[in-house]
Amino acid sequence: MSEIRVEPGSLRTAGGTARLAGTQLAALAGEVSAALAGVAGAAPPETSGASAAFGSAVETGALAIANGIGSLGSNAETAASVYEQVDRQAMPEATGRRAGP
């Protein structure tokens, strides 16, 4: 069986970056929605409904992506913690440490 090697610090950093990107994308979704709402208000009555629906769809899509990226980041950070815990507790001989609480 091949050996699993993980750099928890790098994984945690990447996770934090992804989580931050998700937060920023969620904020951007709100700004885009506000801008498109202004367009819908200025559009002729025949197209204002379509403009509003488009704005809502853009916001919904951006929020879904933001949630996915944010969750990916959180999962990566959690995985880093789990790898460190396993390293300390289940594999003490590999790290020169003794198992224990």
Quick: pLDDT tens for 67-82. Answer: 999 999 999 999 999 9
Q: What is the pTM of this model?
A: 0.72
How far is residue 18's CA from residue 36's CA, in Å, rounded to a whole number? 26
| Domain range annotation of the chain | 8-90
Per the CB < 8 A criterion, the answer to whether 17 and 77 are in contact is: no
Among residues 64, 59, 61, which one has the least CA distance to residue 30? 59
Task: Please enumerate in sequence order all residues whose Cβ is within 8 A of that of 87, keeping only pairs 6 or more positions apart, or say none.
Answer: 8, 94, 95
DSSP assignment, residue 90? T
The overall average pLDDT reported for the chain is: 86
Where residue 96 falls among pLDDT bands split at 50, 70, 90? low
What tens digit of pLDDT does each residue of 16-43 get? 999 999 999 999 988 888 888 777 778 7
Per the CB < 8 A criterion, the answer to whether 69 and 17 are in contact is: no
CA 52 vs CA 39, 48, 55, 58: distances in Å:
8, 6, 5, 10
pLDDT tops 70 at residue 95 = no
- Output the pLDDT for position 42: 81
